[in-house]
Amino acid sequence: MSSNSIPEPPRPNAHRIGTARSALNAAIWARGDAFPCCDEAVISLLTDLRHFCIARHINFTACNGIAEGRFNAEISGGQS
């Protein structure tokens, strides 16, 4: 996570899901895999993200923790 990044405005969940689906499809295509979006596709994408984070010196564990907190806030409608 970069300190100079500008936060983007929130997007509707449908757009976020579409973006995630596109990322999964791109990861499957890049690997040359021929399986549908399923657990294995998510695992492969997360594995690739870990490699990306190592290459860019990004703390995946910290990013994942923050993402989990944001996801939980979104799912609960901002209620703790």
Cβ contact 13:74 at 8 Å: yes
pLDDT score of 69: 94
Question: pLDDT (tens digit, 9 = 90+) per residue, 31-65?
Answer: 776 666 678 878 888 888 899 899 999 999 999 99
Tens digits of residue pLDDT in 1-38: 455 667 666 666 777 777 777 887 787 777 776 666 67
CA-closest candidate to residue 58, choices 20, 1, 3:
1
d(CA 44, CA 8): 26
Alpha helices in the chain (DSSP H): 13-31, 39-56, 60-75
Asked whether the whole model's pTM tops 0.85, one would answer: no
DSSP 59: -
